[in-house]
Structure 1
Amino acid sequence: MPYNDSVASRTGARAEVVNAFMRGVYMWMSLGLLVTGGVAWYVANTEAVLRLFFTPEGGVSMLFWGLVIGQLLMVVGLSAAISRMSGTMATGLFMAYSALNGITISFIFLAYTQASIVSTFLICAGMFGAMSLYGLTTKKDLTSWGSFLFMGLIGVIIASVVNIFLMSSMMHFIISVMGVIVFTGLTAYDTQQLRVMGETMPEDDATAVRRGTILGALRLYLDFINLFLMLLRLFGTGRE
């Protein structure tokens, strides 16, 4: 086989590996979102389950806060230790995290109208899809975005905690706008990072590929969920 044909064949095979890897990432991310949405809707529409986590006065129970802490521990543990897990365990933990997240965000069905939730989800899906496609196809190296976006994320978290006590509507608006900017940027950045991961993924190690797709799905899932919640804070219509 001529040299050029051999190079082209290897390049084409590598591109197919990357495409298969990214398809796996998007598939698991979509399944995670489906589980989260289904669990959130079920909790919000099942009175007996709802009262386990939310009080009639609109507050939250200790069990709810326990789930929030459990979620944080689970996502940190999954991200840090995934390289030592089997593919099945990593997948199971990701789906369990998605279900727990569905419980903790079920409040959106109580706070916002269903029509505004649906419209905001569609807006979010469009923005996410456009930025993820950009990250997947652009020739520009987005590595320099990483530190800027990380600092922005820390700023959003700190400001959100401070605003719990200040309860400023203007600060709420600014935090939401900044959150949309940060998570929109992270969608493109993370997608490009995952494309690079796919380019170096070993073809003959199914466990490594599964772990990689689950880690990638988790990153994009978190980008999508947080972008959706920030958009909902800006455009959602509250229940009367």
Structure 2
Amino acid sequence: MANWSDPQTGAYVTAGAGADARDAGLRSYMLSVYNYMASGVLLTGIVALLFAKSGAISVLFTLQETSRGMAYSPSLLGWVVMLAPLGIVLVMSFAQRSLSTPAMQALYWVYATVMGLSLSTIFLAYTDTSIAQVFFATAAGFAGLSLWGYTTKRDLSGFGTFLIMGVVGLIVASIVNLFLNSGPLSLAISAIGVLLFAGLTAYDTQKIKSMYFYVAGTDMRGKAVVMGALTLYLDFINMFLFLLRLFGSQRN
């Protein structure tokens, strides 16, 4: 019978019923991650759509004329809502050991809700049809990339540093473009953003899969599920937004 090494202990054990149980546990773990991630994306979309169509969006964003035309500018409360997700992510990342699993789950749902409020302007800037088309295209691409990251035998850890450095560079370029208002640079940022988060989707999926072998049977498993879902959620949302900027049809 085949042998495998337990990544927690380094000991070799005989594959058999134990290996089957381990595979079942991994599938259950990954299914939980995907369920949380998909539910979070769905919650964000529903909140964004309802908030945009209700007219209450004027509390957070006001339509103003800029050098590039009319655009929605955040009010003081709008800035609070836009920055709140960053604060929640920082709390979940650095305080996860001291937080309980229910607290982590609650923060995740709050995060998805606040993101919905923050992203509600896309329903006013782009047509509903183009948003739906880009969403389903993103979902198809995400599913394929995540499946590849889950099943590939190739170690993707070496790409992690490159991808993270790319995201940092992307953030810097986006900040610079706030002052330059360059259309070509904006398109380049969006195209590179799609590629980076496509790569991160596969990389993060493999990383989340590997994490299972360290949290299985511990009280960290539930927290790892939530953090894994948050990671894939961010990959999906960012890829969707960059694709929307590239291919979305703006309202007249």
> Which 4+ stretches in 1 moved above 3 angstroms?
2-6
Letter in 2 for 1:187: T
Task: Please show how residues 163-178 of structure 1 align to structure 2 within 5 Å.
Answer: 163-178=177-192
1:222 to 234, 238, 243: 234
Matched to 2:57, the amino acid is L
C-alpha displacement of 1:199:
2.3
1:136 counterpart = 2:150: yes
| Structure 2 residue 19 is the aligned partner of structure 1 residue 19 | no
Instruction: Give the whole-Å Cα distance in 2 for the aligned partners of 1:228 and 1:77.
Output: 25
Match of 2:6? none
Measured against aligned partners, the alpha-carbon deviations of 1:167-226 in whole angstroms (never above 9, x if no partner) come to 0000000000100010000000000000001122232x3x42210100000000000000
Whole-Å separation in 2 of the counterparts to 1:202 and 1:188 = 22
Structure 1 residue 3 displacement after superposition: 9.1
- How far did 1:129 drift? 0.4
1:38 lines up with 2:38 in the alignment: no
- Distance in 2 separating the partners of 1:192 and 1:8: 24
Matching of residue 116 in structure 1 with residue 130 in structure 2: yes
- Measured on the aligned residues, the alpha-carbon RMSD in Å equals 1.5
Residue deviations 1:40-84 (CA, integer Å, cap 9, x gap): 00110111x211111143322110101122221111111121122
Structure 1 residue identity aligned to 2:174 = S
Q: Give the whole-Å Cα distance in 1 for the aligned partners of 2:63 and 2:14.
A: 68
Which of these residues, 59, 72, 84, is aligned with residue 52 of structure 1?
Answer: 59
For 1:83 and 1:215, locate their aligned partners in 2 and report how far apart those are by CA, in whole Å. Answer: 12
Q: How does 1:162-201 map to 2 (within 5 A)?
A: 162-201=176-215
Alpha-carbon distance in 2 for matches of 1:83, 1:152: 29
Do 1:44 and 1:107's aligned partners in 2 also have CA atoms closer than 8 Å? yes
Aligned partners of 1:3 and 1:148: how far apart in 2?
35
- Greater relative CO (CA pairs within 8 A, separation 6+): 1
Residues in 1 aligned to 2:141 and 2:94: alpha-carbon distance in whole angstroms: 29
TM-score, normalised to structure 1, is 0.95
Counterparts of 2:82 and 2:34, CA distance in 1? 25
Maintained 8 Å contact 1:17/1:199: no
Letter in 2 for 1:192: Q
* Residue aligned with 1:83, SS: coil
Higher helix fraction: Structure 1 or Structure 2? 1
User: In 1, Cα distance between the equivalents of 2:23 and 2:187?
Assistant: 42
- Tell whether 2:78 aligns with 1:70: no
Instruction: Output the amino acid matched with 2:178.
Output: I
